[in-house]
Amino acid sequence: LRDSAALLEKHQSNRPTSATSEADLLPATEVREILSLGTVVFRRASTLDRDLPAVPALVPFVDQGHLIIEATSGTSDAPAPAFKALMTSLVAQTFAAAPPGQMVVTVFNPRSSKVLAGYRPTGAEEAGLLKILQPTKEAFEKSLEEQLTFSQRVESSIGTYGSLGDLVRQTGQHEHQYHALVIIDGPSDWTSKSVDLLEKLMASGGKAGLSILIHRDPQVASPDRIDLGRLYKHASILKEGSDGFTLTVHGVAKDPVPVKLIDAVAEDAQGALMRAVVKGAKTGSLPNIPFADLVVRSSETSDRGVQISMGRKGTQVTGFKLGDTDSNIQNLLVGGKVGSGK
């Protein structure tokens, strides 16, 4: 298990610290699909004569899947410690799983829990990277419809690629941002329409750039005629029980595995991460391409035009022909401020 987890390390998102900066964020064409929930608990390990190495409890999420958490939430002003640890860590890992500016997290929080309060005073909302929905049924359903339209657009763009992440890795083109929908205290204010939309999103959204994290408090009764089982078949399940948490990974194993939860992300680390993400989003995440990489060193004749390399769109060199009869571009003016790369 430990060796298998080590093979997945390059796909695992990083946890931020108070020292997190732009240098710690992902480059333009990368995405980390796997989040950590903590470590696997070996309940019979006390019978061994040595300590077992820590094995991380991992789930596919960004660009891959969805997660449902069953855990007591506490009060809106005093979230339960386990609930806070999970939510702060998972949101942090989600933002860190994509290049700065390429992840948008939408939060539906109908009871106005303060569990994610540390992410708000960071400029992420103003930058459009963190969206907090109004705590109403109408706002929730409108957002679900918008997310469904987004997923359908991404699906049409992906074509033969396996997922949005595959498209970005192989072409370098960021036509769409990744999205994550975080739902706290579900199924409060849900209707049959909400479940229908969520089921459609969870059936196809994982590879279409949308990942969904649903939290529900098992001590709170579900609204009448709400069938949550339709959603569980599309997600990994982390469930709180009398003796701790267990994890069932979607598509991997049917038997739940005991898990020791990851620690909460401190508010100073939340702030450091989001400030780095917002700053990186403003400066842009596309790679700098050295001019030498664009220079064509072979000799050419201008009889039928000269191919001009202008830069790159993603990983593809883009340019045009100067002086050919088809495009009829005979003259070229290059403008821009000093130091802009003219």
CA distance 68 to 28: 29
pLDDT in tens, 196-224: 999 999 998 788 899 999 999 988 888 87
Q: What is the pLDDT of residue 204?
A: 82
Residue ranges in the chain modelled with pLDDT below 70: 1-6, 44-52, 253, 284-291, 293-296, 300, 311-317, 325, 327, 339-342
Q: What is the pLDDT of residue 315?
A: 52
- DSSP H or E run through 181: strand 178-186
Q: What is the pLDDT of residue 284?
A: 66
Q: What is the pLDDT of residue 78?
A: 94
- 173 in helix, strand or coil? coil
Tokens 């993603």 belong to which residue? 314
The residues near 267 (Cβ < 8 Å, ≥ 6 apart) are 118
Q: What is the pLDDT of residue 283?
A: 74
What's the predicted TM-score (pTM) here? 0.82
